[in-house]
Amino acid sequence: MKQTKKRSLIDYLFKCKDGKYVYFQFPNLPLMIAILAYGLSLVIFAKPYNGILNIIFTASIIVWSILEIFWGVNLFRRIFGALILGFVLFGLIMG
């Protein structure tokens, strides 16, 4: 009789396809752009530049979250991408 190993919630959320746990991954380009734009918006207060930085931040976070939803390495990152996309879209709609 073949025994099946029951997967824990941690396994289900954090294991990628090759069976390794992924807790941290170096940020991809859209996330690095978002972090840079947000950081610059905290120190640049001039009207046109701050608005442009906020647009860059929002656009790059949307791109990052879509990439995570469809190509995230594990379920946690896909759920996190969906949550962030939901928050951003909610903020834009309520805006």
* Residue 63 within any structural domain of the chain: yes
Residue 35 forms part of a structural domain:
yes
Domain membership flag for residue 17: yes
Instruction: Quote the CA–CA distance of 80 and 66 in Å, as a whole number.
Output: 10
In total, how many domains does the chain have? 1
Q: Which tens digit of pLDDT belongs to each residue from 3-28?
A: 667 778 888 899 988 889 988 888 89
Q: pLDDT band for position 77 (50/70/90)?
A: very high
Read off the pTM: 0.86
Output Rg (C-alpha) for the chain, integer angstroms. Answer: 18
What's the pLDDT score for residue 23? Answer: 80
The per-residue b/e assignment along 59-92, b for 16 or more CB within 10 angstroms, e otherwise, is: ebbbbbbebbbeebbbebbbeebeebbeebeeee
Host domain of residue 90 = 9-94
Q: For 44-70, how does the pLDDT look when each residue is reduced to its tens digit (9 = 90+)?
A: 999 999 999 999 999 999 999 999 999
* Whether 60 contacts 39, CB under 8 Å: no
In a domain, 42, yes or no: yes
